[in-house]
Each structure stands twice: as C-alpha cells, then as structure tokens.
Amino acid sequence: MGYKTIAELAKERIRRAGKKIKQDNARKDGIDKLDVGFRVLKIDTSNMADVYYRPDELDQKDLAGHVDNVKPDRTAEDLLFQVLLDWGVDLGLPIVREAIDGREVFFVDDNALAACFVKDGSVDEGFVKKLAMRKPLRVVFRDAGFASDNARINVEQIFKTLSPDTEVRTL
C-alpha cells in the first residue's frame, strides 16, 4: 500500500479518521474547532551534551567548548519534551507557542509549564518579570539564554516576589 512502516500506516489512518469525524458531523456547532490532531514522538539520546572529562583533565583553553550543555543539533521542542518527561507532565496536554518581548515561550496546558529555551543571551530581568506575572506553575530556562550572571541569579528572586508558587529550573 506504499507505507514503509506500521507507524506510517497508523498515522494515515488517524488522519483519515479525524477528517471523517469532521465530515460526518459537519452540521454540528463547533465541529470546525474540534482538534483531531495528534503527536508522534520518537525515542532519542539525551539532549544534554556528553561529558567524558573529570575537572582535573581539562585545560583552561578547553573550557570554551564546554559552555553550552545542550547538544548543538537539538531544537527547542526537543528540550520542551525532555522537560515534560522529567517533570512527569502529560505529553498530550495542549502546547501554545507565544512571543514575549521577541522571545519564544512555550506554555503547556495554559500555565502548567512555561519554557523559554533561547540561547542568544537575551533573557534579562525585564523579560523574566513579564513571564513571572503570568504565574506559571513551573518555568524552565536554558542557561545559555541569560543576558548576564545577574539575570540568572535574580530569576529565582523575581519569581519568589511575583509568583512565589512557581517552581523554577534551568537547563
């Protein structure tokens, strides 16, 4: 039938079933808003860079190559799903991507989790305050995303002040 794997066949059947449900119920109110989408996930290696060195085996000149702890080929979505798994959050929850001050932020199940994985050093205190005002249950940042050491250090204090119930983590 042209499908290389059972997974490809199953995905096509799910797509067709969703389309048919919408067609069969076309006269019902709100059917056009019915979400018949699905996610396909696959197992991969860790997103975190492999470290095979003990501190006493590294030279000062080698440190620049060990600044980012995330593998270079990983996307923000890769990191998001790792965080969801680490925190035990349901992978089927709705995920919305928003821009806050030009930075991409993922919101899972409205405010169950907020995640910002920019790596350009643009996460500053102003941005963190805007995110804290949303009062997410959990928030996670990429360490390489902070504009300065001060911004990184002040994140927890900003959340303690503006959203004390938020659990804060950094990758």
pLDDT tier at 160, thresholds 50, 70, 90 = very high
Indicate the pLDDT class of residue 122, thresholds 50, 70 and 90.
Answer: confident
* Count of domains for the chain: 2
Indicate whether 78 and 129 sit together in one domain: yes
Residue-wise pLDDT for 39-78, tens only, equals: 888 888 888 776 666 767 767 766 555 556 788 888 999 9
31 with 86, same domain: the answer is no
Q: Which residues of 4-34 are buried (b: 16+ CB within 10 A; e: fewer)?
A: eeeeeeeeeeeeeeeeeeeeeeeeeeeeeee
Are residues 88 and 157 part of one domain?
A: yes
SS3 119: coil
129-157 per-position pLDDT tens digit: 999 999 999 999 998 888 888 888 899 89
Quick check: is 28 in a domain? yes
Same domain, 7 and 77: no
Indicate whether 66 belongs to any domain. no
* 48 within domain boundaries: no
Clarify whether residues 82 and 131 are in a common domain.
yes
Alpha-carbon span 59 to 73, nearest angstrom: 25
Residues 149 and 103 in one domain: yes
Domain holding 165, by residue range, is: 73-170
Q: Could you tell me where the DSSP H helices lie in the chain?
A: 6-24, 76-87, 125-132, 149-162
For the chain, what's the residue count?
171
89 and 133 both lie in a single domain? yes
Helices (H), 25-148: 76-87, 125-132
Q: Over the range 106-125, which residues count as b (16 or more CB within 10 Å of their CB) and which as e?
A: bbbeeebbbbbbbbeeebbb
Shared-domain flag, residues 87 and 159:
yes
Residue 84 lies in a domain: yes
Residue 54 belongs to some domain of the structure? no
